[in-house]
Amino acid sequence: MSLRVALIGYGVGGAVFHAPLIDADPDLTLAAVVTSSPERQEAVRERYLNTRVVDRPETLWESAAAYDLVVVSTPNRLHVPLARAALEHGLPAVVDKPVATTAAEARGLAELAAARALPVIPFHNRRWDGDFRTVQALLAEGSLGTPLRLESRFERWRPEVREGWKESSDPADAGGILYDLGSHLIDQALVLFGPPTGVYAEIETRRPGALAPDDVFVALGYEHGVRVHLWMSAVAAQFGPRFRVLGDHSAYMVYGMDPQEDALRAGGTPLDEGWGEGGPQSYGLLGTPGSTRAVTTLPGAYQEFYAAVARTIGRGEPPPVALEDAITGLQVIETALQAARLTAPAG
């Protein structure tokens, strides 16, 4: 019997990512969607014919026993209150990134989850990007030798400020590109190398009229010598490599973005043939100057996140993403904000 999932929020996160991935998993059923927008309610009814639509979370809690899992995909300031409400009604939760607006909030959520013996699972789907999976595989097999430096970028060209909470300067909204794209980049670095021993950051607000940071560089240092450089920007008129990984034997470089987000936005699902495959244009290069070879990029696999969630809820297996990892990521973000304030040039 499939697990009954209630999804709170049907903006980009809920409509593009969570709902299609949940619906595509044979062990999950998209039983309910919570959204107050009449237009989004109609969109749910058109695409998911057997899914209940409600306009507020309180209605969900009134029939909490009808569900097995709650997914929170709302503005950041609501992540913790809604996740706590789910736990208090006896339901485990998947929570979009960042799981909280502060590390302290996330630790409080972890304490409640432990007390209720229920998992809270951060939605760090970029662990299943094809290019990141390829970097993991190359490092694991020793193709690069000892890693010396990882460069990782999420760059966009969006010079106009868009309305919405992601552009807010209110700390309670956790707006800006560091909390948005930075959450993914930092999480990927933590997966590869663990918590850093040093953090340096340059955090800028470049676009006219922007209130939240839109151009950020973060450097992570490690005792074992590897250095991680992370770029995230809305004002990159030309894009650098998605990954550039330098080792003492060879290097790997790849351009472009994982195709899964664009496929989901176009209405695709992991049930489609060739899901997650980018083709030869997505291949990276491995080697040294004058001696390189193309490396087939592994298929992206966002579906593996919810398949693992189903096993966590249904069989008690470890979650695909530990809440402690998200707490560490928030600690890195907070350290980066502090470091940027200390190193900012005098105005």
Q: Which pair of structure tokens corresponds to residue 301?
A: 């696999």
Q: Which pair of structure tokens corresponds to residue 185?
A: 């980049």
CA 7 to mean position of chain CA atoms = 17
- Measure the CA–CA gap between 111 and 120, rounded to whole angstroms: 11
342 pLDDT above the threshold of 90: no
CA 295 to mean position of chain CA atoms = 25
CA nearest to 185, candidates 220, 235, 214, 158: 220
Chain segment 302-315, per-residue pLDDT in tens: 999 999 999 999 99
Contact 113, 86 (CB under 8 A): no
> Given this model, what pLDDT does residue 234 score?
97
> Given this model, what pLDDT does residue 346 score?
56
- Measure the CA–CA gap between 240 and 255, rounded to whole angstroms: 7
Q: What mean pLDDT comes out for the span 253-279?
A: 96
- Measure the CA–CA gap between 192 and 229, rounded to whole angstroms: 13
Report the topology of domain 3-123+304-316: Rossmann fold (3.40.50)
Chain segment 153-174, per-residue pLDDT in tens: 999 999 999 889 999 999 999 9
Owner of token pair 């029939």:
63
> Given this model, what pLDDT does residue 160 score?
93
Q: What mean pLDDT comes out for the span 65-88?
A: 98
Give me the percent of the chain exceeding a pLDDT of 90: 96
- Measure the CA–CA gap between 1 and 29, rounded to whole angstroms: 9
- Quickly count: other Cβ atoms within 10 Å of residue 150's Cβ: 23
Residues of the chain with CATH 3.30.360.10: 127-301
- Quickly count: other Cβ atoms within 10 Å of residue 277's Cβ: 16
CATH class of 127-301: alpha beta
Please provide the size of the chain in residues.
347
Half-sphere exposure of 149 (CA within 13 A, CB side): 8
- Measure the CA–CA gap between 32 and 6, rounded to whole angstroms: 5
347 pLDDT above the threshold of 80: no
Residues of the chain with CATH 3.40.50.720: 3-123+304-316
> Given this model, what pLDDT does residue 345 score?
64
Cβ within 8 Å of residue 13, ≥6 positions away: 73, 96
Q: What mean pLDDT comes out for the span 17-46?
A: 98
Q: Where are the alpha helices (H) located in the chain, listed in sequence order?
A: 12, 19-24, 38-47, 57-62, 79-88, 103-116, 130-141, 177-193, 260-265, 303-315, 323-343
Radius of gyration of the chain (CA): 20
Which pTM does this prediction carry?
0.95
220 pLDDT above the threshold of 80: yes
